[in-house]
Amino acid sequence: MDLTVSNNRRNKIHPWIFALFAACASILMMFASLTSAYVVRHAAGNWLEFAMPTIFFVSAGVMVASSIALHFSYIFFKKENEKMYKLLLIIGSILGVLFLVTQYKGWMDLNAMGVFLDGNPSGSFVYAISGLHAAHVLGGIATLIMALVHAFGLKFKVTDKRKVRFKMTLIYWHFVDILWIYLLCFMIFQ
């Protein structure tokens, strides 16, 4: 894998991180198309109006807290503070899993409100959008598990390679975090 990374690099940004940004752009297009489909469908009428369950706001808070914890974990990692790095990594990861739990709770609440997956498209859209987002968070959790394996399985050492890996995990995590806040705002204000 270092085949090209050891190449002549005049640029400041690491190619893998650039590739991650491109991937994020791609994911963003997916959600942009879903939200624009939402707008188009909304404009056509026959649209069930309902208030978003409050638990979705809680999940947004959990996600932000998780992002902050991981961000500081990365800062401590760079400062070679092993203890804080590992502690915050664990906290961030647990909050990440908690986010999925709160999302699940949100879907249950929607169901209890009478907003069903196979009912009016206004509800179906919320399930589809939040479900697809949760799938991307799940991908993020997989990378966090890798980060935990690195943190606890390998000897603590701050190398460029590990920094890049951690940074990529972090960027992706911030991305799905901001994405959820955007999606939530979108669904509230539409």
Partner 1 sequence: MATTVKTAPGEINEVDQLIEKYGFDDHFHDHHDEDKYKSNFLTTYVFSQDHKIIARQFLITGIFWAIIGAGMSIIFRLQLGFPHESMAWLKPLLGKWIQINTDTGMGTLAPEFYYALVTMHGTIIVFFVLTAGLSGTFSNLLIPLQVGARDMASPMLNMFSYWFFFLASVVMFYSLFLSTGPFSGGWTAYPPLSALPQASSGSGAGMTLWVLSLVFFVVSVLLGGINYVTTVLNLRTKGMTLWRMPLTIWAFFVTAILGILSFPVLFSGFLLLTMDREMGTSFFLSEIYIGGQALENVGGSPILYQHLFWFLGHPEVYIIILPAMGLVSEVLSVHARKPIFGYKAMVYSIMAIGFLSFIVWAHHMFMSGVNPFISNFFVVFTLIIAVPSAVKVFNWITTLYRGNIRFNAAMLFAVGFISMFISGGLTGIFLGNSAIDIQMHDTYFVVAHFHIVMGIAAFFGMFAGVYHWFPKMFGRFMNETIGKIHFWGTIIGAYAIFWPMHYTGLAGLPRRYYSREGFETFRHFGDVSEFITIAAILTFFVQLLFVVNFFYSIWKGRKQTTRNPYGATTLEWTTPIIAGHGNWPGKIPTVQRWAYDYGKDGREFVPQIVPLEEGEHDGGEGDH
The amino acid sitting at 127 is Y
Told to check if 13 binds partner 1 by CB under 8 A, we report yes
Show the tokens assigned to 186.
């979108």
The residue to which tokens 């996600």 are assigned: 63
Show the tokens assigned to 114.
């009478």
Query: Applying CB under 8 A, which of residues 91, 97, 98, 128 lies at the interface with partner 1?
Result: 128
Interface with partner 1: number of residues (CB under 8 A): 39
CB of 108 to partner 1, least distance (A): 16
Q: Which of 176-182's residues contact partners 24+ apart within 8 Å by CB, and which partners?
A: 176/63, 176/133, 176/136, 176/137, 176/140, 177/63, 177/64, 177/66, 177/67, 179/27, 179/28, 179/31, 179/133, 179/136, 180/59, 180/60, 180/63, 180/133, 180/137, 181/60, 181/63, 181/64, 182/31
Is the Cβ of residue 36 or residue 54 nearer to partner 1 in the bound state?
36
CB of 154 to partner 1, least distance (A): 20
Told to check if 25 binds partner 1 by CB under 8 A, we report yes
Told to check if 41 binds partner 1 by CB under 8 A, we report yes
CB of 172 to partner 1, least distance (A): 13
Residues making contact with partner 1 (CB under 8 A): 1-11, 13, 15-16, 18-19, 22-23, 25-27, 29-31, 33-34, 37, 40-41, 44, 46, 117-118, 120-121, 124-125, 128, 132
